[in-house]
Each structure stands twice: as structure tokens, then as C-alpha cells.
Amino acid sequence: MKNKNDKKILENADLKPIDKDLFSNAYPETVPPLNKYMEKLANWARANSLWFLAFGTGCGAIELRPLLTSRFDIYSKGIAPRPTPRQSGVFIIGGYSSVKTLKRIIRSYEQMQNPKFVISLCSCSINGGMYFDSYNTINQIDKYIPVDVFITGCMPRPEAIMAGFDKLKERILAGKTEGANKYVENFEYYKANQKKIIKDWNMPDYNW
């Protein structure tokens, strides 16, 4: 749908009429990169300041705790956990994703500010793992939000997670982490996939 300024707006059709004025209906927009040299500098800063939101839905998320100990000392590498989406630039989904948790994953992801990066941690979030044939398990999280790095294993050791962070840094420095823009460019595709799973949508189409 378009308004008089020829810009797309969101229907938010599943919200109650009384709630529609409480949420934005502005269509998300892509953020173009800065000029060549400024973007390179920005990517250096982004790669060395990875504040992550851990969405631990299963056993794999427990492997994040050792990263905070003196043995791995992620703080010295510019990596730190944060409690809210607004403070985070990296979204880690650790463990299986279910029909119920998918809504919270989408809401958390969309509330993060751009640029934002996603790590899919554990086999369960990649292909369903041992729950692949469950009626309640999401088998491919990258069908619902873009994923930058996959870390396989059941469960992956802390060393594997650190290797995943190193890979993410490498991709950021190379300018290959445009997941947030990809999400906007393919917005209808992701929303269609999300709404096939989530029947009780009752939230805005984009959760700023």
C-alpha cells in the first residue's frame, strides 16, 4: 500500500483498531553504505565492538557462559553481552527455535538498530537438530531472518563460538554483512514465511 507521498506503508492488519495508532506503520528502508573510506573505517569499528544479545532457547546457549571467564576473556576482544535489543548489534540464536519463540525472535531482531548481524548457534537453529521432525520446531531460521554466520555442533564448544565471532569479524571487515538491508529488500518474502508459522500474529508488521 502507498500513501500520498508514494511511500509504502504497513497495513498492520492483525492489530486491533484501538492499537493501530500505538505502532508505526512506516515501511523499513535500506541504509546505503558510506563512501569507500568511511565505510571501511566504520566496519573496522563495528568488527571490534560486537555487543550481542543472546536468545538462548535450548541447551546450546549454555556454552556462551564460558566466554565470560578469564580463559576466553571475550571483553578483551571487543565482544560483550547486552540485555536488550536496543543495545545490541549481534543477535545470537542458540538452540532450537519453536513456533512460540519465533515471534519473540522476530520482534527482538527488528528492534535492533542497523547495522545488525545474526549468528545461528547449534545444529538445532540451523536444521532442527534432533528435533527436526517435531511439529513445533523451526528447522531453518534463515528463512525468517537473515543469518551471517552459522556455528554447527551439538553443542559447539566455546572455541567454536570464538571461531564464529572471528568469521563474523572477517565478514564485517570485508563488507559482506548486509543482512539488515537484505531483510528490507526481501521484506515480503520474510513476512510471508513468518506468517505461515505464526498464526496469532497480533503485532505490528515491523517492530521498531
Break the chain into its structural domains and give their ranges.
52-197
- Give the tens place of pLDDT for each residue, 34-90: 898 999 999 999 999 999 999 887 777 788 888 888 998 999 999 999 999 999 999
Question: With the CA atoms of 186, 188, 189 and 194 taken in that order, what torsion angle do they form, in degrees rounded to the nearest 10?
Answer: 120
Write down the CATH number for the domain with range 52-197. Answer: 3.40.50.12280
Q: What percent of the chain has pLDDT over 70?
A: 97
Q: For residue range 104-135, what is the model confidence (pLDDT) as tens digits?
A: 999 999 999 999 999 999 888 888 878 888 88
The dihedrals phi and psi of 145, each to the nearest 5 degrees, come to -145, 150
pTM (2 d.p.) = 0.91
Enumerate residues 6+ apart whose C-beta is below 8 A from 29: 184
Q: At what angle do helices 158-173 and 36-47 cross, to 10 degrees?
A: 170
Residue 6 has a pLDDT of 52
Based on C-alpha coordinates, what's the Rg of the chain?
18
DSSP code, position 157: P
pLDDT of 151 reads 92
- Return the pLDDT at 43: 95
CA pair distance 90, 29, nearest whole angstrom: 20
Sequence-ordered list of residues with C-beta below 8 angstroms from that of 167, at least 6 positions apart, any chain: 149
Whole-angstrom distance, CA of residue 181 vs CA of residue 172? 14
Check pLDDT > 50 for residue 2.
no
